[in-house]
Amino acid sequence: MDSISVDGPSAGECQVHIRLCSSREPLVLGVARDETAEQLTVRAARHCRIGPVARHLFSLCDEETRLFLAGSQRVGGAVRRYTFLMRFKVADVVRLRALDPHAFDYLFHQVREAFVMGTFSNILRQKEDALGLAVTDMYRLMREMNVRREDVEKDYKSFIPRDLVKMHSFFLKSPIRKHLIKLEQGPINDVMYIKEKYVQKALEMCPTYGDETYTVQRDEAGVVRQWKLVVDPFHPTQPGLRMKTDGGENSIHICTISDICYISLRNDNRVELARKNGVPQYFRFASEAEMTSCVSLLDSYYRLMEKWTFCLSKDLQLPSQLRLKQRRCHGPVGQEFAHQKLREKRNNEPGTYLLRQHSEEYDVILVDVCQPNCEQPLTIAIDETAGGGFRCPGEEEEHASIQELLAQFSTDHLVQFKECLPPSEHGRAAEVYGRYTVVQRAQWHTSSGTTRQVAVKRLQQHLTKEHLQDFIDSVSAALQWTCDAVVQFRGVCLTQAVSLVMDWYPLGPLDSYLAENKHTLMEVDLVEAGTYLAKALWYLDEQGVTHGKLRCRNVLVSSRAENKFHVRLADPGLRLYTQNDLHWVPVEYFDQLQSVAYSSAADVWSYGTTLWEIFSYGQTPLEGEDLDMAKQRGGRLPPPSGCPRDIYRLMCDCWHHMPHNRKTPQAIMRDINQILYNVFNARQVHAYATLSNSASVDSGEGAGTPVDGTVTTLGTDNTTVSAIESVAPPMIDLLSEPFPGGADLARVMSPESVDPEGRTRDRLVSIGRHKLLIPGVPTSLGGDSAEPVTPISPLDMFEEACPSFPRVLQLNQGQVQLGDRLGVGFYGEVYKAVLTHQDGTWETVAAKRLKKKAISTAGLQDLQREIAILKDLDHENVVKMRGIVDEPELMLVMEYLPPGALSSYLKMYWDKLTTHRLLKFAKDVAKGMEYLGEKKIVHRDLAARNILVASDTHVKISDFGLAQVTGANTYYYLKTNRELPFRWYAPESIRYGKFSSLSDVWSYGITLFEMFSGGEDPQIPNCDDQKLLETLDRGVRLCCPSECPLGIYTSLMWPCWDEQAHMRPCFSDLVHECASLMREY
C-alpha cells in the first residue's frame, strides 16, 4: 500500500505511521525524539485540514495496545503505528458540522468505518436500520463522487457489516436497488446533509460508540474486586464515570465530569480520584499505559467541558497549555469573547490588551488592544515561526518573544500595550472588614436542653459606632461558608452586640499547637494540615471570595488522632496590613498593602508563606526584616529546616514573581494531595469508601453530623438564635471561562445545562442602617435591646435564589384576582383565584402565598425553593405551575383542581371508591414520584394531604415546600430542626435526617395506608411521635386497614416499610406492581 509521506525522517528522527479514517494511505511522518503526542496530533489534524478549535477533540490511538496516548507522552525514539481518531464524544454533531466541516467530515468517515467493520454492538438486531444506513452511504457516494447507481450496487458489500452480509446477502440486493432509485429521484443533493443524517442515525443505533472502558481493581474492605470502569459524559442516567462488574449489566455511578476535583497518580498504577462530595475513589490499573490513557481522557473532558485552563493531574499537563500560560495567552477564543472580556474586566481602558490563538489558523496569535476614543479594540495578527520566533505578517524581522514584538510595534505605530489580561482572571471583591474583635468562650443552649461550647466573636465596644457595618459584612460572608476545611459558623447573636457564633476548638490556633507539639508531630501531619488549608483556599476561590489573612494563627486545630490531623481555616477578621505582614504579601503589593484584601493571587502567595510556617512548626518567618530587605529577596523565604523538596517547590510556585504564573488554588490542592497520597501514603488505609455517595462526616469537634448536627438554637439566658433549614450549596460551583473555541464548541461538548440544585438563599435583614446576611436566622432575635429587623423584598431574594427563572412566567398582580381561601398550611395559604392572560382569556387557578408572619422566617425559603423546583417540572401526575406574582408579595400560581386534596376526597367519597380506582390513584402517585426521582428530587412530604385529585381517575402530586434537589449524591441531609411530618418518615430520616427517593418510598407506603383506610390518621396504636423510632426499630408497622385487600397490603404497602432502605422497591417497580394489581382487582 502506498503511503502519504509528508515529512521524511531526518537525522535523529524516527518514522511513525498514522492511519487516517478518511484516507486509504497512512500518513508517514518523521518524529523527533522529544516530540509529544499532542504535537503529532496537531500535525495530523493540519494534514486533514481540521482547525485549531476542533483539533482538541482528536487524539492518537496506539494500534498495538489499542490505547490512546496522553498529549504529554513522548512519541519519538521508536517506529510506531497510530490511528488518528476523534476521541471525545460531542453532544450535537450538527453544531460540530457548523463549527468545523472538516472535523465533522472526518467523524463521518470514522463512524462509517466502525459500522462497516462490524464494531457496532447488536447490529444483527437492527437489520432494517443497518440496511437504511448502508443505502444512505451508497447514495452519499453517488452524489459526492458522481458514481453511477449500478456501479454502487455492484459493490454493496463494502457498505454493510460483514456479519449482516453473511446472514442476509440473498435478500439485500432488491431492497437496496429499490431505495436507491427512490433516493435518486428525490430532491436531496447536499452531501454534508446526507453525512449528517448518517452520523446521527449511526450514533442513535450505537449510543455507546465513543465510550471507553478500562479494567480496574478496587480494595473494598480488604477484598480486592475487579471492575469495568466506563467513561461516557453524556450517558442519559449516569453521565461521567460509572463502573460495573465483568459481564454485569447493572452499573454504579461514580460521578459526573464536573464532580471531579483532581486526580493523583502513583508509581504502582494506583489512582486517587477526588470528588466534590469529599469521598475519594481509588483504582488500580493493570498497566501504566492504561492508567495514563484513562486519566488523560478524564482530564481532557474536564478541560473541554469545565475548566479549560486546569489539568486534573499534574503529571499529564499538556505542553501547549504550559506555553499558553507562560505567554498569558488564551486558547482559540473568538473575537466576540475577547472584546466582551476587555469591556467587562477593564471597561476598554486604553492600553489593556488580550492575547489569543487564532480560531481558524495555526501558528497565529491575535492581539486585541483597546485604543483611546475607539469603541472596538484594535486586532493585530502575529505569526509564530517554525524556529519559535514571532513576526508580523509581511515583515521579515523576527522577534524572540511576543513582548519584544509588541514593544517594537508600539514604537513604530504609537500603540500602547499597558496591561495584558491573562486567561481565567479572577475579579476583585470589594469588601472592607472590621478593625478589632474579641473572641470569647460561651455556652450554646440547644432546643433539646443540652449545651455545648462555642466561640463568640464580637467587635470591640469602642469601635462599634464606626465599624459595625464592616464587621457585619465580615459576618455575612463567613456565614455562607460550608466546607469541612473551614471553621463551622453556627449563626449570629444580636443581643447587646452583634456577635458571630462558631464552634469552639479547644486545641487552639495552629501556630501555637505546632510549637507546643513539635516533637510528637510527624511530617505527614504537616502535609495533611497543608492539604486541609489548600482545600479551604480552593473552596473560597470557587465561591469568588478572597480571604486576605491566610496565617497559621488564623487556622484552628479541629482534631488530632493517630491517622488524622484536621485543621480548619477561620474567618479573616481584621484585614489591616502593616510591615509585620510583609512575608504574606506578594512583592507587587509592597507599596499598596491594603489591596491584598482583594487579590486571589495574594491569597496564593499567603498560602505559600503559611505552608512555610507549618513546616517551621509555627515559627514566625524572618522577624524584624524591613521592606527593603524583603524586596531584595524577591519576597521568597529560604526553605525550612528539613522541609521536603516537593513541599518547598510548591511554596516557590506560590511565590512566583508573576501573579499569573502562580499556582491556582485548585492546582495547589491537586499537587499537595498528590504529595500526601503518593509520598506519605501511610496515611491512606485503602478501605475504600462505598459508592453510595454518603455524606462525608467530620469526626472532629464542631462537625455538623446528621445525628447531632440538627441542633438549631444557640444563645444564652433568654436569648436564642434559631437557624432554619437551608440547602447548603455544593462545595464547589465550577465557574470558569468557556472552552477556548468560544461558545460554539462549548455547546458542541455540552447539552443544555440545567442547574441541578434547587438552591435557597439566606435572608438579608436590616439592623438600623446596617445590612446583615443571616442564613436562616428569624427576625425575632434581638431581645429588648435589638433594633427592629426588617426583611427586604421577597422578589429580590427570589431572583437571587433562582437567577435562571424564566421571565415569561412573571405575572402582574392585576392579572390574578384572589377568591375564597382553599386551605392553610404551616407557612402558606392557598386561594382560589382567576388568572387573566395577556390575550384577554382567563382561567381558574390556585394561588399560594405566605402568611404575613411567615414572610420573615423559613416560609419564604420554602416558597422560593418550591418555585425553583416546580418551574422545571412537566408531568401528568405533578401539579403544573402557571407563574409567579412578585409584587407586592411573592405568590405562586398553579393550576386549579376542583376536587381538592386526596385526604378530604377519601372521606367524602369513601363509599364510592373502588379498589381499582384506589390502585389507579396509587399508580398515578408512583408515576409522579418516579419522574421526580429521575429529576433528582426528594419530596419529603408525600402524604394524602399533598395529593390533589384532578378527576375521578387521575391525581397529581403537589406541595413541594419541603422538597430538595439531591444532585449527583441521590440523598439529602437535614441541616436543622423544623416542623416535619415524622409519622410519614423512614427510620433513617428520623434518626439521621437523611432523605432520598427510598425514604420517599416509605412515605408512599404510609400514603397507601391513608388511601386504603379512607383517610385515617397513620398512627401506630399506643405510639406517639417520641416513641415512633423505637417502635419502628422493633419491627412494628401499621396494620392492614380493615377494608384493604390483604394482597395489596403484602405486595404493595408492606415492602415500602423495609428497615433497610436498599431493600425497598423503587418507584418504577411500584408502578408495575400497581398495574399488575389493577388487572387483579
Which residue positions form the known binding site for ATP? 848
- Three-state secondary structure readout of 155-202: CHHHHCCHHHHHHHHHHHHHHHHHHHHHHHCCCCCCHHHHHHHHHHHH
Whether 703 contacts 299, CB under 8 Å? no
Residue 1070, amino acid: L
Cell triple for 548: 486576605
Q: Which of 200, 190, 224, 305 is nearest to 257 (CA)?
A: 305
For residues 957 and 921, give the distance between their C-alpha atoms in angstroms, rounded to a whole number. Answer: 11
Local structure of residue 463 (DSSP, 8 states): G
Strand-pair category, 451-459 with 437-445? antiparallel
Lookup result for grid cell 409522579:
928
Whether 497 contacts 461, CB under 8 Å? yes
Element (H, E) at 92: none
For residues 281 and 690, give the distance between their C-alpha atoms in angstroms, rounded to a whole number. Answer: 9
Sequence-distant (≥ 6) Cβ neighbours of residue 329 within 8 angstroms: 323, 355, 356, 357, 365, 402, 423
Please count the other Cβ atoms lying within 10 Å of the Cβ belonging to residue 793: 14
Q: Where are the alpha helices (DSSP H) in 208-250?
A: none
Whether 540 contacts 607, CB under 8 Å? no
Burial class (CB in 10 A: 0-12, 13-18, 19+), 548: buried
Vertex 329 angle, CA 327 and 334, to 5°: 165
Burial class (CB in 10 A: 0-12, 13-18, 19+), 229: buried
Which of the residues 941, 959, 1000, 1058 is marked catalytic?
Answer: 941
Vertex 165 angle, CA 162 and 171, to 5°: 170
- Length of the chain equals 1081
Cell triple for 175: 431492497
Is 383 among the residues known to form the active site? no
Output phi, psi for 339, to 5 deg.
-65, -40
Sequence-distant (≥ 6) Cβ neighbours of residue 23 within 8 angstroms: 4
Q: Is 122 left (phi over 0), alpha (psi -120 to 50) or beta?
A: left
Cell triple for 948: 390533589
- Mapped onto helix, strand or coil, the DSSP state of residue 687 is coil
Is the preceding omega at residue 888 within 30 degrees of 0, hence cis?
yes
Query: Which residues are annotated binding-site positions?
Result: 848
For residues 799 and 803, give the distance between their C-alpha atoms in angstroms, rounded to a whole number. Answer: 5
User: Which residues on adjacent β-strands are paired with residue 778?
Assistant: none
- The residues carrying an active-site annotation are 941
